[in-house]
Amino acid sequence: MSQLELNSELDENFEERVTYFADVILPIPLPGTYTYRIPRDLEEHIELGSRVVVQFGKKKILTGIVKLVHETVPKVYEAKYVLDSLDHAPVVNTFQLEFFAWLAQYYMCTIGEVLNAAMPSGLKLTSESLIQLNPESEVLGSEMEYSAKELAILNALKANDRLSFDQVSELLGVKMIHPVLKSLLQKESILLFEQVKDKFKPKTVKTIGLAGQFLEDESAMQLLFEQLEKKPKQQAILLKYLSLTRMDEGETKVRDILKSSLLTGDLSASSLKTLVKNEIFIEKEKIISRLDEIDGELEKNHSLSSEQQKALEEILLAFQKNKPVLLHGVTGSGKTEIYINLIQQALENGGQVLYLLPEIALTTQIVSRLHKVFGSALGVYHSKYSDNERVEIWNGVNNAKINLVAGVRSSVFLPFDNLSLILIDEEHESSYKQYEPAPRYHARDAAIWLSHLHQANVLMGTATPSVDSYQNALDGKYELVELPQRFGAGKLPEFELANILTSRKSKRMKGDFTPELLEGIKHTLEKKEQVILFQNRRGYSPYLICHDCNHVPKCQSCDVSLTYHMHNNVLICHYCGHKESVPAICDACGSTAIRTVGFGTEKLEEDLKILFPEAHIQRMDQDTTRSKYSYQHIIDRFERGETDILVGTQMLSKGLDFDKVSLVGVFDYDRIVHFPDFRSHERAFQLITQVSGRAGRKDDQGKVILQTGEPDEPLLYKIRTGDYKSFFQTEILERQNFQYPPFYRLIKVILKHKEKNILQQASKHYAGRLIGELGRQRVLGPQQPVISRIRNLYIEEIYIKIEKKKINVNKVKELAYKLGLDVKQHRDYKTLRLYFDVDPV
């Protein structure tokens, strides 16, 4: 190569030698992004949305998402290198990056917190620090002087070859292991390294196929048969294989079949092993999808009733106006059929569909219905699914294999790039709002914002619209479509009010059952029909109390009574998870007279067993539905009529249709309606309407027996007559008079500190500053929440209340945030923790 050419090549290289930097979002609650230098060999793999592995701090290795690639050299610090890139194509798209940033801004949290909630943990790698013996230390080893601890570690390493920090700590029985490790490192006896683990494991199956030569060569097969003549077990396997692959009928295609399908009956696994060893069969491992495959014909959708058709046309018309549509359709009006119709249209036009459902509704008939219609185009995203399954859904959406997702609130985070329809079923459900941890987002509102990004249509459906959404519809922000008829002409259930007070006075109550309800249950059972008993969960956990001194066992680090769990006889703190066994004697006075109080579904179930010993009773609550399929099993048994009485909480009210339920009993209407918060009426209307909807389908009019101490309570009349509009009119006036949403926007500020006094001072100070800026009437509190201490931190709350019109929310958010930083400057308040909950429910 000539001198000239060499020079020009150098020049060219020199010019190309721009260093790229990546701003990386890390899944940690810190504001902002972090800038890393992209090594040249990774340049072509790293783009917006790529997953990268970076070192953060001294030892943490994290997976982050690239938010920006640029050439600006950071001035104040030396950027570390990106260690690796994980994918060939980005796992997060630009819609998502924008969406995440919006969520962080709107809900006042860090983008890292959003990322953390968004990605299934299988896509987030974590590192584990490990140590191993330094192979070169053998030479030096003998001359070294080691302490007892050091020797213990070295000996353990000889046996184990690598140890994690936790293991070392366990080995030594000490938490402080760093000094010891440091000393060993200095002596060069050990090596320290980080192991990055990819947590996602594809699901595999073992397959068996016949080795090639037997397929091609008839005579080889002949020979094989002769060889196996004396080995009947192996021969049996070969015959089974041939019959399964139909090769005996002359088909010659190479076929791998499932190992499990071959080893049925008395065929032995060890014989097969021998066959594999002798290279007659070949065993392979095949990666398969965890997502259910659907066999057979997909179901055609049913034709719509004229009511449904009319609603559908109205919806399509409303979509033209580019506004979200609120579909107000009474229970049983057949909303699902309309959804299916819209989904089909969207999919046929090549768009993606997101169908949001509350968690409990998702495990039911709706999903199996969708499965029948849409088959493997449907992905289900549910919290009870394993993380690996979630990764598969994520990837499925990302590579366009899945175009329809039915999922819980977190499915708004999936990598859609072409959403054309978002359905939000049971729009009023408060479980769409996440409370702990941040991001405290509302999936309905987030989904509506997401729809703007994608230019997607939005349909919200419910029998009992939230006050917020209905007002939005009246304001013209949403389009309202009504579906007033019950599909199949079922009637509203008949309501009977059972007066608890009069029954109690005349001593006719049996435990918590009024004579009316008992009579009703008896009657229904005699008719061989089914009963659902509904018990509100709020504030109803059973606990222990000492008969002699009234002492109630409390959690040591939270300000709550421990909840008593009858089935395994333990006390559990529902806030921090602390568990303890039931004490034999009272901690306070030593008495043995400890009894259980409070009445949850467990207690109800026990009572029912005594009152109706013949009946099959099943309880359905958090406790009995912990595992993935337990909910489905309970429902199935009930559907098959194996259960007569189903006792449960809220989860009974969602998306379940049973034909033989003719009685619904409601226990604690009074508690629901008098719950101390401004949404209690709204919640009562929704809840009672929804559970009542479970009574009586098709031909029969069902019955609801509602136990209450005040049968004349005004809201009750509206619930009984199903008069949503009248409920709404009364409620909306209240909201206006008392300055609540939807006219005012709320931001809850949560302050925590381990010192009660300091917390109170700091909260007062913070509230004072807020009042100074916003005025007295816009700030409520500070006040102690019902649970005033969790995990040893005391809690205070402040509500910021601002008019939706006139005031710029973003300014207020900024102010609240800055004042928080300000207060934390004060040297007494440095460890104060501040959290925000925007639009709390």
Q: Which is nearer to DNA, 52 or 373 (CB)?
A: 52
- Considering the complex, what minimum distance in angstroms separates the CB of residue 581 from DNA? 24
- Looking at 56-64, 485-493, 560-568, 663-671, which segment touches DNA (CB under 7 A)? 56-64
Helix%, strand%, coil% for the chain, nearest 5: 40, 25, 35
- Considering the complex, what minimum distance in angstroms separates the CB of residue 35 from DNA? 4
Q: How is residue 343 written in tokens?
A: 């989904």
- Binding DNA (rule: CB under 7 A), the pick from 11, 29, 288, 321 is 29
- Looking at 29-37, 655-663, 718-726, 778-786, which segment touches DNA (CB under 7 A)? 29-37
Helices 269-277 & 232-245 angle (0-180, nearest 10): 80
The per-type count for the chain, helices as H runs and strands as E runs, is 29, 34
User: Cα-flanking dihedrals φ and ψ of residue 590, to 5°?
Assistant: 80, 0
Q: Which is nearer to DNA, 38 or 404 (CB)?
A: 38
- Binding DNA (rule: CB under 7 A), the pick from 57, 250, 296, 676 is 57
555 in a labelled binding site:
yes
The label of the residue with tokens 């950071």 reads 74
Parallel/antiparallel/unpaired status of strands 404-407 and 378-381: parallel
Q: Which is nearer to DNA, 175 or 507 (CB)?
A: 175
Q: Which is nearer to DNA, 14 or 77 (CB)?
A: 77
Give the count of residues interacting with DNA (CB under 7 A). Answer: 28
Q: How is residue 728 written in tokens?
A: 């709404």
Q: How is residue 539 written in tokens?
A: 């504030």
DSSP H helical segments within 582-723, as ranges?
Answer: 601-611, 630-639, 669-673, 680-692, 714-720
155 binds DNA (CB under 7 A): no
- Looking at 10-18, 28-36, 573-581, 594-602, which segment touches DNA (CB under 7 A)? 28-36
Could you give the C-alpha distances from 240 to 417, 708, 808, in angstroms and in order?
47, 67, 74
Identity of residue 190: I
- Looking at 49-57, 235-243, 619-627, 804-812, which segment touches DNA (CB under 7 A)? 49-57
- Considering the complex, what minimum distance in angstroms separates the CB of residue 43 from DNA? 17
- Considering the complex, what minimum distance in angstroms separates the CB of residue 574 from DNA? 21
- Binding DNA (rule: CB under 7 A), the pick from 40, 73, 74, 94 is 74
Query: Based on the number of CB atoms within 10 Å of its own CB, is 287 exposed (0-12), middle (13-18) or buried (19 or more)?
Result: exposed
Of 442, 408, 660, nearest to 532 (Cα)?
660
Of 395, 391, 402, nearest to 201 (Cα)?
391
Q: Which is nearer to DNA, 81 or 225 (CB)?
A: 81
- Binding DNA (rule: CB under 7 A), the pick from 39, 43, 60, 290 is 60
Window 700 to 729, contacts with DNA (CB under 7 A): none
- Looking at 25-33, 335-343, 465-473, 624-632, which segment touches DNA (CB under 7 A)? 25-33
Window 161 to 190, contacts with DNA (CB under 7 A): 174-176, 178-179
CB-based contact 341:335 (threshold 8 Å) = no
- Considering the complex, what minimum distance in angstroms separates the CB of residue 66 from DNA? 13
- Binding DNA (rule: CB under 7 A), the pick from 75, 77, 436, 610 is 77
Q: Which is nearer to DNA, 332 or 820 (CB)?
A: 820
589 in a labelled binding site:
yes
109 in a labelled binding site:
no
546 in a labelled binding site:
yes
- Binding DNA (rule: CB under 7 A), the pick from 42, 68, 69, 79 is 79
The DSSP string of 800-833 is EEEETTTS-HHHHHHHHHHHHHHHHHSGGGTT-E
CA distance 392 to 50: 17
CA distance 810 to 641: 55
Q: Binding string to DNA for residues 738 to 777, with x set by CB under 7 A, is what? A: ----------------x-----------------------
- Looking at 31-39, 327-335, 500-508, 803-811, which segment touches DNA (CB under 7 A)? 31-39
Q: Is the peptide bond before 741 cis (omega within 30 degrees of 0)?
A: no
Q: Which is nearer to DNA, 148 or 610 (CB)?
A: 148
> What radius of gyration do the chain's Cα atoms show?
32
DSSP H helical segments within 17-109, as ranges?
Answer: 94-106
Of 596, 643, 600, 601, nearest to 619 (Cα)?
601
Q: Binding string to DNA for residues 817 to 836, with x set by CB under 7 A, is what? A: ----------x--xx-x---
CA distance 102 to 441: 11
- Considering the complex, what minimum distance in angstroms separates the CB of residue 154 from DNA? 17
Annotated binding residues for Zn(2+): 546, 549, 555, 558, 573, 576, 586, 589
Annotated binding residues: 546, 549, 555, 558, 573, 576, 586, 589
Residues contributing to the site for DNA (CB under 7 A): 28-30, 34-37, 54-60, 74, 77, 79-80, 174-176, 178-179, 754, 827, 830-831, 833
